[in-house]
Structure 1
Amino acid sequence: MQVGSELSQGRAAIVSARTVVVKIGSSALTSLEGGLDTARLDLLADAVEARMRAGSDVVVVSSGAIGAGLAPLGLSKRPKDLATKQAAASVGQLALAHAWGTSFARYGRTVGQILLSADDFARREHHRNAQRTLDRLRSLGAIAVVNENDTVATEEIRFGDNDRLAALVAHLVGADALILLSDVAGLYDGDPRKGAANFIPEVRGSADLDGVIAGSGGALGTGGMASKLSAARLAADAGIPVLLASAADAASALAAGTVGTAFAARPIRLSGRKFWVRHAAEPRGAVLLDAGAVDAVGQRHSLLAAGITGIRGRFFGGDVVDLVSPDDEVVARGVVEYDSTEVVSMLGRSTTELPDTMQRPVIHADDLVKV
């Protein structure tokens, strides 16, 4: 949906962004009847090429591997079982990569495919490896096309949707803007397909989302408005503004920023370490807090043993753990200093009661982030 000609600060930042991540949803590239739609893919590649010629560095996050594999395998709908999803992805991923390579070859550009799993972000070493690969690929003048590694990802380690993957990639490459393209024109306070719904052109903070009802994905994808709102929040934590628009308006979205819904970034971005703790790391256990410790954590103080009432799971020093309130709500996440067996021996004890080797905070304030 077209918005006013005068750009907001967030839209202006998206238009002027030097490094842009563009996520393209399954519905923009595939159909149940015909599989991969190369004509639509070419139009999207045209829009990306125009943005690159205008001086931006663009990374593409492309959904569609499973959708592209359905028709060749004679499947009439997206499968529900994991094995068939992986089989469809193995066929579709090849077609998808070839189509992107062929389309960008029209402009003399080389495409490099990068397949990532959630584990590649959860493990710091894998995270750094992915970052180095993306940086080197871009420095060599190639266009990175990223997708989730659906052929091996299990339900337990999946991103869940490529909106989240795109936001994590945007942080990984230090992007200045994230553009999410799908089959919706932007954010509405309800589902416009089910009746009257009001279009929301700008989201400057959480108050702008009051009353918004977000749904799940469609027949070909796993995303939906709920996943896009989550991705926008994730990107905002990294200081990255987001534009949500229809893939049919890709040219306007990338060139002028006058379509869709713009999400403003938070004014102060999370540090790289805190971003990883909140959004990418896989918690290895949980630490249970009393009410006083919940208040202290909320005020960004270090977590001391005196406020801990118990633990869940087995973890080691350096692992990320959830911090859980007496109401069983996860209130924060942090990097723990001690093994779970050590924390058990420290429960409820003041710092002066502990041995010298255990007088450090259980979680230092610099390694703790609210969720």
Structure 2
Amino acid sequence: MNVRESIATARSVVVKVGSSAVTTFEGGLEQSRIDELVDACEARMRAGSDLVVVSSGAVGAGIAPLGLKKRPQDLATKQAAASVGQLAMVQAWAVSFGRYGRTVGQVLLTADDIARRAQHRNAQRTLDRLRTLHAVAVVNENDTVATTELRFGDNDRLAALVAHLIGADALVLLSDVDGLYDGDPRRGGARLIPEVTGPDDLDGVIAGSGGALGTGGMASKLSAARLAADSGIPVLLTAASRAADALSTAEVGTVFAARPERMSARKFWVRHAADTSGAVHLDDGAVTAVLTKRRSLLPAGITSVVGRFFGGDVVDVCAVDGTRVARGVVAYDASELTSMIGKSTGELPSEFRRPVIHADDLVPLVR
């Protein structure tokens, strides 16, 4: 089965909608645009797929009602706009899905909800339960409380995380661009890239930052697509105006092929979602063992410990020069680990002879 066919037949789909697809400066939310998107989503659901919507636009939807002249830059005004816009946005989705007798549930997430394992599981259970109750989940970052330190950065990344969170079979990213180009299509001469199967397909690609109404841009979409594909989820990137085609035949835009094996939920969380609480630095031999031989990390290969962390926390694993090469769930507190540095297993008391990071809890960041 090729990539487009796998997206067209996916039983569980996450659809991410960009701010520019549903809002304008002059009028805020555009109900007609949302209706067109919902029509496409409804057709896909009637064909037998489960569907979760990740919708940007809360801040954009609050700009016009508050009389603002441009997208706010300071955090307080962004959060004020989001508090107005979130109410309008979820109501617009609810009204539109209501035309088909469907109920909408709003799910607001912060990066902290994904980074912390307990909240991560709770979000997963909530989204799964909404689906079993035949409600459509509309997900957005909780802009009214998220701080700079806690933000996902954009809803493209959030959509990729949600796709893995619910075990989706495909991710569809809808914005104002009909695919990935090797340059800026507005300037002419740029070539559409129909399929990305690996890094070589991205040679020479120049991806820009976000537009006036949003925070994403092609750079964030490319990053999110690669994140999802790396976890085993195929991705389609195209314009919101092509939503009907994207959610039926998938014969539009750019597709990103998924890696052959889906990453486990735990390893995905460690690699992409969890906060790190510190770091351990390794000698060259230990780096080779954990990266190429997929061995567990033992105290003998550790040269230093950085930060204050506890057993069960996620830490960065670094090479001698400080380059992050992996992340993992550490078995010991930093205070315990400091006294174990460089020692062989036989030199340690019996209670300290388990690996510092087990191979099952260690995820390489480089290949």
CA–CA distance in structure 2, aligned partners of residues 211 and 343 of structure 1: 44
**Which letter does structure 2 place at the counterpart of 1:346?**
M
Alpha-carbon deviation of 1:56? 1.0
Contact kept, 8 Å, 2:160 with 2:171, in 1: the verdict is yes
| Post-superposition CA distance 1:250-275 (Å, at most 9, x none) | 11111110100010110011111111
Matched, 1:47 2:40: yes
| Residue matched to 2:182 | 189
Counterpart of 2:344 in structure 1 is: 350
SS of structure 1 residue aligned to 2:336: helix
Q: Which residue of 1 aligns with 2:12?
A: 19
User: Shift of residue 327 of structure 1?
Assistant: 2.1
Structure 2 residue aligned with 1:325, among 319, 326, 333?
319
Q: Is 1:60–2:53 an aligned residue pair?
A: yes
Q: 1:92 and 2:85 equivalent?
A: yes
In structure 2, the residue matched to 1:241 is: 234
Q: Which runs of 5+ in 2 are unaligned?
A: none
Give the structure-2-normalised TM-score.
Answer: 0.97
Q: TM-score of the superposition, structure 1-length normalised?
A: 0.96
Of 81, 84, 100, the match for 1:107: 100
> Given the alignment of the two structures, is residue 316 of structure 1 paired with residue 310 of structure 2, yes or no?
yes
Answer yes or no: is 1:71 the counterpart of 2:64: yes
- Residue of structure 1 equivalent to 2:245: 252
Q: Distance in 2 between matches of 1:308 and 1:230?
A: 32
Quote the offset at 1:196 in angstroms.
2.1
Partner residue of 1:305 out of 280, 294, 299: 299
2: CA distance between counterparts of 1:367 and 1:195?
Answer: 47
Contact 2:299 2:342 in 1 (8 A): yes
Q: Does structure 1 retain, via aligned residues, the 8 Å contact 2:280–2:302? A: yes
CA contact (8 A) 2:110 2:142 kept: yes
Deviation at 1:238, TM superposition (A): 2.7
227-236 or 254-263: bigger deviation: 227-236
The secondary structure found in structure 2 opposite 1:255 is coil
**Residues 209-218 or 61-70, more deviating:** 209-218
Contact 1:31 1:37 in 2 (8 A): yes
Paired AA for residue 120 in structure 2: H
Q: 1:82 aligns with which of 50, 72, 75?
A: 75
Residue 138 of structure 1 is aligned with which of 131, 135, 138?
131
Residue by residue over 1:56-93, the C-alpha shift from the partner in whole angstroms, topping out at 9 and shown as x without a partner, is: 11110000000000011111111111111100000000
Q: How is 1:208-227 mapped onto 2 (pairs within 5 angstroms)?
A: 208-227=201-220
* SS in structure 2 at match of 1:346: coil
**Aligned partners of 2:32 and 2:307: how far apart in 1?**
51
Is the aligned partner of 1:366 residue 2:332?
no
CA distance in 1, matches of 2:109, 2:276: 19
Q: Aligned pairs, how many?
A: 364
Q: Is the 8 A contact 1:15 1:256 kept in 2?
A: yes
Residue in structure 1 matched with residue 254 of structure 2 by the alignment? 261
Q: Corresponding residue for 1:4?
A: none
Measured after TM superposition, the shift of residue 303 of structure 1 is 1.1
Conserved? CA contact 1:236–1:269, under 8 Å: no
The Cα offsets for residues 329-367 of structure 1, whole Å up to 9 and x where unpaired, read as: 111000001000111111122222222221111111110
Q: State the Cα distance separating 1:131 from its structure 2 match.
A: 1.3
- 8 Å CA contact 1:237, 1:275 repeated in 2: no
Q: Secondary structure at the match of 1:262?
A: strand
Partner of 2:335: 341
Counterpart AA for 1:167: A
Letter of the structure 2 residue corresponding to residue 176 of structure 1:
D
Amino acid at match of 1:19: S
1:13, CA displacement in angstroms? Answer: 0.2
Deviation at 1:141, TM superposition (A): 1.2
Q: Judge conservation of contact 1:33–1:76 (CA < 8 Å) in 2.
A: no
Shift of 1:23: 0.3
Pairing 1:160–2:153 present:
yes
Q: Which residue of 2 aligns with 1:3?
A: none
SS of residue paired to 2:339: helix
Query: For residue 213 of structure 2, what is the amino acid of its counterpart?
Result: L
CA distance in 2, matches of 1:207, 1:127: 33
Task: Name the counterpart of 2:279.
Answer: 286
Letter in 2 for 1:344: T
Q: Is the 8 A contact 2:290 2:297 kept in 1?
A: yes
| Structure 1 vs Structure 2 CA RMSD | 1.1
Percent of aligned positions with the same letter in both sequences?
Answer: 73
Indicate conservation of the 8 Å contact 1:243/1:262, yes or no: yes
1: CA distance between counterparts of 2:156 and 2:150? 15
8 Å CA contact 2:279, 2:305 repeated in 1: yes
Query: Which residue identity is paired with 1:60?
Result: V
Question: Structure 1 counterpart of 2:332, which letter?
Answer: Y
